Structure 1
Amino acid sequence: MNIGLGLPIDDPALLMSWARRADAGPFSTLGLLDRLVFDNPEPLITLATLAGATSRIRVQTEVLIVPVHNTAILAKQTATLDRLSGGRFTLGIGVGGREDDCLAAGIDIRRRGRRLDEQMTLLRRTWSGEPYSEGSGPIGPTPSTPGGPEVLFGGFAPAAIERVGRFGDGFLGAALPPQFMDGLFRNVEKVWEKYERPGSPRLVAQMNVALGTEDTVEQARHNIRSYYDFGGRADHVANGLLTTPKEIREATDVFGGIGADEVILYCWSSDIDQVDRLADALF
């Protein structure tokens, strides 16, 4: 099972150092979250920069709120990132749930799921080299990965699971303990069979971690509360933060036991020494 790192967003100037240190270590992936109306770096631009500063580690959106993006431009951006990274890019996708993001992007929050379904059809068509739409030609460049970058869908609703079978390569489950993730993983496998997809879906779990001093842990909790400060779940998510090597090892082992192909350790504090602490704890 692979172990990746989710990157903190509170100090973008440190992300190059995070990426280089992770690339020199045992980690498989660098993940980066998305919001529009928030103080976070734009993920595709940031991951392109980090891909250029690294040589082997994968880069991944975790997750990109695709409905707030222009579809044609997104097709070009993602194909370019996949090409420039040598196929090291994974597009993690979600519908989002913040009304201010949708307002700023000029989309109807009530149609974001239907919009995403329409976007996925266009993205898959474009990545395969077909004309984008009637009257317009293909949009390049050709991705390094045949058919487009790997796509993982995140979310908890049945529609998100269904999209894995229809459009995706796998599922990304975030901020849920293993006993709940187990059911989601099994549902993904059933949908995969329903659509008669070959092989197996990739199953990726994300857990929130902070390993270090009390200041590191408190910074992480503060950043989680700020990001999830909508819908009344901020304290619940912050209280689920894993803060000891034992907790992180045990949760990682359980995720492996329910079939996770990869676990992303999402770091909410900019304390870069966590890269080495987590490597020591797990490897």
Structure 2
Amino acid sequence: MTMPVMEPDLDAPVLRAWARAIDDGPFSSLCWGERIAFDNPEAITLLGALAAWTDRVRLITTVLVPQLHDPVMLAKALATGDMLSGGRLTVGLGIGGRLEDYEAVGADPATQTMRGLADSVAVMKRVWAGQKVTDSVVPVGPPPMQEDGPQLLVGTMGPKTVRSAASWADGLAGTTLDLDTSKQNALYDVARAAWAEAGRPKPLLATSFWFALGDGDKARAQVHRHLRRYMNWIPAEYVDAMAPTTGWAGSEDELLSVLRKFADIGTDEVHLIPTSSDVDQVHRVAAIIDDVG
């Protein structure tokens, strides 16, 4: 389950209630994403709070953009989060789809590439391995709780990006807009082949989609409102055109059927993305999760 970090008017009590409801439920992971030029909570600061508010679930960033950060400071912050959470951190990484985020922090847009991402990952892995990145008395710490650092996932929807990440990522943290399981499985096949060719263990296969529970028209309108707000860098008429077929809206039984279809193609995790900050959604989804085979 993803935190409602892209919803408006959030505060600490709302975020804490979501974190604790997810941790208390049958969910395997709690996720949240990063944006800069938006009014969402800052992702690394939130990591510290989530580590304190939860005890069980894995914490997954879906996704951070390393090129928006100094890689040494990012490695230090993530190692701290891994330590505070008792080794429960998984880090989803991507290049980001918004130039405005790069501009907001003065990052070089020329680094918005998979090569730029891989370069940042290489620095972070050096830090997590205890290697000195400068002539300091001791290496940059603290050491992460997990040996070799947090598990890393690549946030992507394309086969070329998947192949390029096989050398450093432990799996995928993708997104499906239309919930087409045949297309998703084709991407999984690319990952399986690329990881095998690179001599890596089988990749973790995760995807995500927006969801709304309830009456069909009302739930679909909720998804539409969310997309209008979240996709504010895209002309509104384009968002309106894609909204009827983007994400999922419907009843609990219908959601269960969709989740089973993703399980059938070998999906390890589906990261559900809420389109409302109403924590009742968490409880309603939790009630059906145990029925997924």
- Tell me by how many angstroms 1:223 deviates: 2.0
Question: What are the ranges of 5 or more consecutive residues in structure 1 without an aligned counterpart?
Answer: none
1:241 pairs with 229, 241, 247, which one? 247
Q: Give distance in 1, aligned partners of 2:22 and 2:244.
A: 24
Q: What corresponds to 1:263 in structure 2?
A: 270
SS at match of 1:249: helix
Question: What are the ranges of 5 or more consecutive residues in structure 2 without an aligned counterpart?
Answer: none
Given that 2:65 and 2:93 are in contact with CA atoms closer than 8 Å, whether structure 1 keeps it comes out as yes
Given that 1:71 and 1:122 are in contact with CA atoms closer than 8 Å, whether structure 2 keeps it comes out as yes
SS at match of 2:90: strand
Offset from partner CA, 1:165-203 (integer Å, 9 cap, x none)? 111111111134222211111111111011111x31101
- Whether 1:274 aligns to 2:281 is yes
Q: Give distance in 2, aligned partners of 1:138 and 1:237.
A: 49
Q: What corresponds to 2:148 in structure 1?
A: 147
- Whether 1:112 aligns to 2:118 is no
Q: Give distance in 1, aligned partners of 2:219 and 2:243.
A: 17
Q: What corresponds to 1:8 in structure 2?
A: 4
- Tell me by how many angstroms 1:92 deviates: 0.6
Aligned amino acid, residue 170 of structure 1: G
Q: Percent identity?
A: 35
Give the direction of change, closer, same or farther, for the CA distance of 1:251–1:215 in structure 2 (3 Å limit).
Answer: closer
Aligned amino acid, residue 250 of structure 1: S
Aligned amino acid, residue 240 of structure 1: T
Q: Give distance in 1, aligned partners of 2:272 and 2:284.
A: 12
Q: What corresponds to 1:92 in structure 2?
A: 92
Q: What corresponds to 1:175 in structure 2?
A: 176
Q: What corresponds to 1:49 in structure 2?
A: 49
Q: Give distance in 2, aligned partners of 1:217 and 1:7.
A: 20
Q: Give distance in 1, aligned partners of 2:165 and 2:261.
A: 23
Given that 1:175 and 1:237 are in contact with CA atoms closer than 8 Å, whether structure 2 keeps it comes out as no
Q: How does 1:43-82 map to 2 (within 5 A)?
A: 43-82=43-82
- Aligned Cα root-mean-square deviation (Å): 1.9
- Tell me by how many angstroms 1:231 deviates: 4.3
Q: What corresponds to 1:224 in structure 2?
A: 227
Give the direction of change, closer, same or farther, for the CA distance of 1:144–1:89 in structure 2 (3 Å limit).
Answer: same
SS at match of 1:140: coil
2:211 pairs with 209, 212, 216, which one? 209
Q: Give distance in 1, aligned partners of 2:62 and 2:223.
A: 17
Count residues in correspondence: 277
- Tell me by how many angstroms 1:221 deviates: 2.6
Give the direction of change, closer, same or farther, for the CA distance of 1:81–1:238 in structure 2 (3 Å limit).
Answer: farther
SS at match of 1:210: strand
Q: Give distance in 1, aligned partners of 2:17 and 2:202.
A: 35
Q: Give distance in 2, aligned partners of 1:158 and 1:281.
A: 32
Q: Give distance in 2, aligned partners of 1:224 and 1:25.
A: 27
Give the alignment's TM-score, normalised by structure 1: 0.91
Given that 1:18 and 1:272 are in contact with CA atoms closer than 8 Å, whether structure 2 keeps it comes out as yes
- Whether 1:194 aligns to 2:197 is yes
Aligned amino acid, residue 56 of structure 2: R
Offset from partner CA, 1:86-106 (integer Å, 9 cap, x none)? 111110111012111111121
